[in-house]
Amino acid sequence: MLNETVYIVDDDPSVREGLDSLLRSVGYETHCFASPREFQLHRRVDTPACLVLDVRMPGASGLDFQVELANSHDAIPIIFITGHGDVPMSVRAMRAGAVEFLLKPFREQDLLDAIHLAIERDRTRRQGEAVDTELNERFATLTTREREVMTLVASGRLNKQIAADLGLSEVTVKVHRGQVMRKMQAATLADLIRMSDRLGLSANRA
């Protein structure tokens, strides 16, 4: 059993049942819903996932729901399926970040390939968020002065220049810099610069 989840939203029970059977047979955990609202009311499991979403449902538009999810900062990757697609519709969906736009009837392998891609995309996003969370936790342990030093080091300033900028001795700057490297778990200056870039450090944040 894969530790990966596929959410299926389609108003047609036969489509839901068919997709559910197919995806479970290859190891995915699945959850099926007849409408976007049902999906929203469901508490999702904390695993890499994607959403297989019908474009047209009674009283609901999959394309509008895609926009709604994006506006609420829900980054779950979406694969659209439809029996009523056209080029403008598919272009709109893809430009808004959809992984794939499949016309019914579609090949099972095409759907499986799209789901694999979508879940890998979600896995990468989750890993990135975990890294960001850890970096922010490390950054939070720095003193105000250490944050100032980190920002200036990452901007390319030398110890002597930082000392002048902050009105400190060069020895004190070296002590702060060492503390920053230790607390941020940066082995090299290049590591620290990459961390600063990921944190989006600026003089304002420091």
- Decide the pairing of beta strands 60-61 and 56-57: antiparallel
The model carries a pTM of 0.75
- How far apart are alpha carbons 140 and 160 in whole angstroms? 26
Domains along the chain? 5-131 (3.40.50.2300), 141-199 (1.10.10.10)
Greatest extent of the chain over all pairs of C-alpha atoms, in Å = 74
Q: 172-198: per-residue pLDDT in tens?
A: 999 999 999 999 999 999 999 999 999
pLDDT at 84: 78
Phi, psi for 121 (deg, rounded to 5): -65, -40
Q: What is the mean pLDDT of the chain?
A: 93
Q: 19-54: per-residue pLDDT in tens?
A: 999 999 999 999 999 999 999 999 998 999 999 999
Structure tokens at 166: 């902050």
pLDDT at 89: 85
